[in-house]
Each structure stands twice: as C-alpha cells, then as structure tokens.
Chain A
Amino acid sequence: MAIKKSNHVIPSKERGGWAVKKSGSARSSRSFDKKADAIEYGRTLSRKEKTELFIHRKDGTIQNRNSYGNDPFPPRDRRH
C-alpha cells in the first residue's frame, strides 16, 4: 500500500542509537545516540515540511503520531 509522505524516528543500527528517516527512503536523514534528540530533530523537520511524524518503538510499532499539517486524522468537533 502506498504510504503518505511522513518522517519516522526509528532504531538505528549505528551503536544501537536512533535515526530519523523519510517514508519510503532506505537511508536515514540523521542518526543520534539518544531517542529524545532524534524526536526533537524529527519534530523540527516535520513542522518545516508540514508532514506527519511517527515515533517508533524498538520493535517497529508506533509509539506516537504527530501531525504538522494536512492531518489525515483531524480532531473531531464534539459539539456537532
């Protein structure tokens, strides 16, 4: 299935650290020792690109999703 453009914080093979990569790209944009630093970089990049940021756990599953534009799951208006 085609994946919409997004950024991902994922486990990296470099010293067991973390990396940020774009969906569909085999190469990481940048690698970090700490997950918190990878998340911060991923947020800045996603804000700039107005895309979704997926933060993965070590097992690959999604820990958090943040949208910085064109959210495919916008907040629902509970008043209507």
Chain B
Amino acid sequence: MAKSRNYSKNVFINCPFDTKYFELLKTLVFTIVYFDFNPRIALEISDSGQSRLEKIVSLIKESKYSIHDLSRLQAKAVDEYYRLNMPFELGIDYGLRTFNNSYSDKRSLILETERFDYMKAISDINGFDIKNHNDIPEQLIECLRSWFSETVGLRDLNSADKIYSDFIDFNTDLFRRKMNKYAGKHNSTEAERFADSEIQHMTMPEYVDAIVEWKSSD
C-alpha cells in the first residue's frame, strides 16, 4: 500500500486532551513545526462520519514519526481513573511497525512527567526512547530537540533555550497581530480581551497555520 505523500514529514501526537495538558501541547506543536515537520493529531479533524479509532489509525499510518506522552498514566485523585488511550495508541503504532514490514522505518518518542514513572505502569516498554519533561515547557523542548537530533537525524539545531525564546516571541507576535485586528474598532482593554479569546479558541489547524506564518515572516 502506498504511504501518505507527507509520510516522512508527519509526526503523530498521542497525548491526553485535558486542560492541564494543553499547557504543554502548544509547546509540543510549536516545536514540531519549528523543525519543519507536520504535527498530526486527532484534534485536527472533526468528521463525525469517522470513528475516533479509525481517525487515529489513519493518522498513525500517515506518520513516520510519533510522539506518545504517557504522563497521565497515574490517577491524581481518589476515584479518578488513569488514562488508557495513550498506551493503547502506542500499542497500535508499535504493532504496525512490528508486524508490517512497510512500516518498519517508523520511529517514536515516549514522554513522561517524571523519570521512570512508566516502569510502575507499563514496564514492557523498557528500552524504548523515553524522555521526561516534568510538565515544564522548556524541558519538553529539550526532550524534543534531543529526539529530533538523535533519532530523526536533524543537525545544527538551535539550542533549546533559543527555541523557547522564539516560542515566547511567536506568542507575543500572535497577540499583537490579533490586537491590531481589533484595536481599530475597540478600546485597548476590549481589543486585548477579544485577542486573548480568539487565541484561546484557535483550532489546531489555525494554530499550526499561525506558526507557519510567523516562521515565514521571520
């Protein structure tokens, strides 16, 4: 079966979709686009005719690379269930790579919050490329930069603190652009509120487009 046209540039993101993780997801997506790769995530499509699992399997097949964040395997409160979607999707990705020779070139990165957390929940993956970010955006960039260098094979990459600085500049520039959009017709307080609201509710494709636009104007 022919692979997707952008297979070698696609990075499937398997992560929790809770509010807390969204704090890291924006950093994750920015860094992937920063390195000229395409983040592929279940949030990018809302086709009610396709089941969530079908959608995820398609994304996995279309992506040579995948990033699996297992940092929500542990329930944080009494009566809270731990999350099984991420290890399940990691299993699908691993199965495709293992049982189908056409996909033996797939490569993945596994992320967790604290080092060796995974050993308590899913020790079978011992030996995989696993990095921990402590839920801190700049440390997540360090994990990604290392992986893109070691596994994907990119060279002469900017330092992690330069990438983080660019991430902050991107967010500032995005806010200013949105402020400019509203400032003509509204006072600065209202313009700020509208700008912030628009940014907070950007869809994943809009967010990716904004990063691409910022990169091209740099």
Contact = CB atoms under 8 A, between A and B. Distances in A.
| Co-assembled chains A and B | yes
Given A8-B168, A60-B167, A62-B171, A13 B218 contact: no
A62 B195 CA distance: 9
Interface residues of B, number: 43
B157 interface: no
Which 8 pairs from chain A and chain B are nearest by CB?
A: A13-B138, A62-B175, A59-B23, A58-B23, A73-B188, A26-B161, A26-B165, A60-B171
Binding site of A, secondary structure by majority: helix, strand, loop or mixed?
Answer: loop
Interface residues of A, number: 33
A65 B161 contact: no
Nearest to B213: A1
A25 to B, nearest CB: 7
A59 B22 contact: yes
Nearest to A12: B138
Interface string B23-64: 111110010000000000000000000000000000000000
Binding site of B, secondary structure by majority: helix, strand, loop or mixed?
Answer: helix
Interface in B112-145: 134-139, 142
Interface of A: 1, 3, 6, 8, 10-13, 16, 21, 23-27, 54, 56-65, 71-76, 78
Contacts of A57: 23
B136 A10 contact: no
A27 B162 CA distance: 9
Contacts of A74: 188
A16 B134 contact: yes
B26 A59 contact: yes
Interface string B177-214: 00100010011110110011001100000000000001
Contact of B175 (A1, A13, A16, A54): A54
Nearest to A13: B138
A24 to B, nearest CB: 7
A71 B176 CA distance: 12
Given A27-B161, A60-B30, 5 more contacts: A13-B142, A24-B165, A60-B27, A60-B170, A62-B196
B217 to A, nearest CB: 5
